[in-house]
Amino acid sequence: MTTRQCPGLHPLAHGAYAWLAPQGGWGWSNAGLIVDGEESLLIDTLYDLELTGEMLRRMRAAEPLAKTIGTLVNTHANGDHCHGNELVAGAEIIASTASALEMSELPPEAMAAIMQSARELGLLGEYLQRCFGQFRFDGIQFTPPTRTFDGELDLRVGDKTVHLIEVGPAHTRGDVLVHCPVDRVVFTGDILFIDSTPVMWQGPVANWIRACLLIEGMDADLIVPGHGPITDKHGVARVRHYLQYVHDQARARYDAGLGAFEAAKDIELSEYSAWSDPERIAVNVDSLYREFSGQQARTDTLELLRRMAELAQMS
């Protein structure tokens, strides 16, 4: 099944919904809602207050139980999955311990400051404007998780059991899957990018590949990615194949002595070149090189964005 990305709220099962963004590019993230009995659980908020507010209005119009959201799960620390947290007032906000720490290191005001300086950043600034210029980062109140966990956590939503499974570090440091077996649905956060290129800020890649295999083995047929259309297990396998392919290509170039950015420019994306944002290869190869060399220090995020800006301009 490859559904077109039809934006808005999609009922998936009895009391389970996906919110799909109008496109899957930078910052355009999906979310989810699970309700039962008198309870409701929201999976992720969006990149800014306007987008999150519109999503909540649409959810409340379709589903009375969404009027009071008791629990919010942030699948990971990236702002496009948690910047709208302040709009879910009174909810218990749950994330992995690693995600909660990562969120505190790049609060919304840091993103607002970067965007304010974009005009002085030349090619990088143009790229930032193109990727993130549609979102409003000023005035967002940083609203961190109120409850953290490590490994796994089971929640109840009415009579439904919802499993939270920490599979990171992978895309970020503390990625979490949200699986509701009775609804046969899994919300994967950014463990899945469908029709756009996965970006591995953290790694190791083996964790991410293991997470894909875990989803492929789940008793679930409705798979909601962090970005892009609802998918199935073939969609998950394609993401896994991309990660393995980039790993193998990067490894060969590392062994041949190429630098990380040289390698990123050299890798032929072949069947994956149709996915949007192919320039994310620059981040993926950099993270893989960090793994290969056993280095701990991450390359500065602005430097990685600068490399992506250069690649995007070349393509």
Give residues in contact with Zn ion (CB under 5 A): 29, 78, 80, 190, 226
If the CB atoms of residues 48 and 190 are measured against Zn ion, the closer one turns out to be 190
Instruction: Provide, rounded to whole angstroms, the least separation between the CB of residue 38 and Zn ion.
Output: 31
If the CB atoms of residues 295 and 301 are measured against Zn ion, the closer one turns out to be 301
DSSP state of 193: B
DSSP state of 227: B
Instruction: Provide, rounded to whole angstroms, the least separation between the CB of residue 81 and Zn ion.
Output: 6
Instruction: Provide, rounded to whole angstroms, the least separation between the CB of residue 28 and Zn ion.
Output: 8
Q: Take residue 224 and report the two structure tokens written for it.
A: 């909601």
Distance from C-alpha of 309 to C-alpha of 162, rounded to nearest angstrom? 40
If the CB atoms of residues 15 and 228 are measured against Zn ion, the closer one turns out to be 228
Residues whose CB is less than 8 angstroms from the CB of residue 18 and which lie 6 or more positions away in sequence, other chains included: 9, 10, 12, 30, 31, 32, 187, 222, 224, 230
- What are the φ and ψ backbone dihedral angles of 127, each rounded to 5 degrees? -65, -45
Instruction: Provide, rounded to whole angstroms, the least separation between the CB of residue 47 and Zn ion.
Output: 8
If the CB atoms of residues 15 and 226 are measured against Zn ion, the closer one turns out to be 226
Instruction: Provide, rounded to whole angstroms, the least separation between the CB of residue 49 and Zn ion.
Output: 17
If the CB atoms of residues 25 and 125 are measured against Zn ion, the closer one turns out to be 25
Site of tokens 């994330």: 95
Q: Take residue 102 and report the two structure tokens written for it.
A: 């990562």
Instruction: Provide, rounded to whole angstroms, the least separation between the CB of residue 226 and Zn ion.
Output: 5
If the CB atoms of residues 62 and 106 are measured against Zn ion, the closer one turns out to be 106
β 92-96/71-73 pair status: parallel
Residues whose CB is less than 8 angstroms from the CB of residue 149 and which lie 6 or more positions away in sequence, other chains included: 94, 96, 97, 164, 166
